Structure 1
Amino acid sequence: MSVSRIVRSCLRSASLLAAAGMLTALLSAPANADDYDAAIKDIQSTMGGVPSFLTKFPKAGLPGAWAEVKAIELSDKTALPPKVKSLISLAVAAQIPCSYCIWSDTQDAKRAGATDEEIQEAVAVSALTRHWSTIFNGMQVDFETFKKEMGAQ
């Protein structure tokens, strides 16, 4: 191998190592402690405690994740009322399936005023959606034909 090829190879390796080092530094950069502490305090205030599973979430991501949950799922100032959001979440959780979410979403739905009948219907609708999705996809139903037959405008 010529000297110039060795030098280019070393430079390329050094560049890759430098890039890898920068990426590692960026990915392992500590979270803004003030943002993290503020999120923990807000969780404590909102929920009456900090569930232990949140301590397993990356510190850098917790403030953003909490802000998203609080702004969408927990807020009553969104387009969907809390009961509807809980029923949607329960229906999705039943399909994933996620026993943690099923339990929690059922509790949330009941606290938001959902009846047992509404909970049962939400889960049944999710089952119907899964059923028909299996039929449409498995039988390769033509999507354009489907839209026409179902009244596409």
Structure 2
Amino acid sequence: MVSNETQREIEEYLGQVPSWLDALSEPAADHSWGVVRDLELGETDLPNREKALVAVGAAAAMNCPYCIHFHGEEARLEGVSDEGLSEAANVAANVRYFSTILHGAEVDLDDFRRETSEIVQHIEDQQAAAAGDD
């Protein structure tokens, strides 16, 4: 259970203290809210829209109906369309798919990193050339 001070803060942010917060054990309750407040709701390097989309993708990859619903609503509040939510889930599925392939085939990680660096360099060179055409 969160402390009275944290309850007041949560009510200010969310308009209520969701019942599921009772599932947090006391030593973790206030801290857990602090992480949500500071990382997900607070000012960080990522805009809230991007954080919501990351959360939707992670929730979809974990197959968590609670997180999918919550973060889907969060993303909608940030202006993400249903098509955008679907795309976020598709991107997450694509990452999971290729992760399964890479792990199953036991692709060498050092080779993968080297090839990725070469791909990034190629794309940067193309972008630089395209910028020079302007």
**Alpha-carbon distance in structure 2 between the residues aligned to 1:81 and 1:103:** 20
Identify the match of residue 68 of structure 1 among 14, 27, 35: 35
Q: 2:9 — aligned with what?
A: 42
Q: 2:128 — aligned with what?
A: none
- How many residues in Structure 1 have an aligned counterpart in Structure 2? 119
Q: Which amino acid aligns with 1:71?
A: D
**Alpha-carbon distance in structure 1 between the residues aligned to 2:58 and 2:115:** 27
Q: 2:20 — aligned with what?
A: 53
The alignment status of 1:95 with 2:67, answered yes or no, reads no
Superposition map of 1:112-151 within 5 A: 112-151=78-117
Q: 2:124 — aligned with what?
A: none
Q: Which amino acid aligns with 1:151?
A: S
How high is the TM-score relative to the length of structure 2? Answer: 0.82
Which structure 1 segments of 5+ residues have no match?
Answer: 1-30
**Alpha-carbon distance in structure 2 between the residues aligned to 1:124 and 1:86:** 15
Does the CA contact (< 8 Å) of 1:36 and 1:60 recur in 2? no
**Alpha-carbon distance in structure 1 between the residues aligned to 2:24 and 2:115:** 46
Q: Matched residues, percent identical?
A: 33
Displacement of 1:56 after TM fit? Answer: 2.2
Higher relative contact order (CA 8 A, sep 6+): 2
User: Could you list the per-position Cα deviations for residues 63-92 of structure 1 after superposition, in whole angstroms to 9, with x for gaps in the alignment?
Assistant: 1111110001011x1111111111100100
**Alpha-carbon distance in structure 2 between the residues aligned to 1:93 and 1:149:** 29
**Alpha-carbon distance in structure 1 between the residues aligned to 2:11 and 2:22:** 12
RMSD over aligned Cα, in angstroms? 1.7
Larger Rg: 1
**Alpha-carbon distance in structure 1 between the residues aligned to 2:13 and 2:104:** 45
How high is the TM-score relative to the length of structure 1? Answer: 0.72
